[in-house]
Amino acid sequence: MRIINTDQLKSVLANLPDNPRIIASGNFATPNTLLKAADENISEFRLHMLNAQNGIPDREGITYETAFVGHGMRRHPRLQYIPSRLSLLPVVIRDYARPDAVFIHTSERRHDTVSLGTEVNILPAAIETARAHGGVVIAQANKQMPYTYGDAQIYESEIDYLVEVDEPLLEKPETTFASESLEIGQRIAALIEDHSTLQLGIGAIPDSVLSSLKDRTGLRIWTEMFSDGVFDLFKMGVLDPDILLTASFVFGSQELYQWLNLNRRVQMLRTERTNNPTNIAKQAKMQSINAALQIDLFDQANASHVRGQIYSGFGGSTDFIVGSLHSRGGRSFMALPSWHPKAQVSTIVPRLTENTTSFQHSFVVTEQGAAACFGRTQSEQALNLITHAVHPNAREELVAKASEFGLL
Active-site pick, 158, 224, 272, 367: 224
CB neighbourhood size of 67 (10 A) = 23
Ramachandran quadrant class, 344 (left: phi over 0; alpha: psi -120 to 50; beta: rest): left
Nearest residue to 148 (alpha-carbon basis) of 234, 85, 225: 225
Catalytic residue list contains 224: yes
Q: What are phi and psi of 199, to 5 degrees?
A: -125, 130
Question: How far is Cα 319 from Cα 121, in angstroms, rounded to an integer?
Answer: 14
CB neighbourhood size of 62 (10 A) = 20
Question: How far is Cα 119 from Cα 240, in angstroms, rounded to an integer?
Answer: 24
Question: How far is Cα 175 from Cα 368, in angstroms, rounded to an integer?
Answer: 22
Give the three-state DSSP class for 224: coil
Nearest residue to 152 (alpha-carbon basis) of 79, 216, 248: 248
Beta bridge partners of residue 294, listed in sequence order: 302
Q: Which residues are catalytic?
A: 224
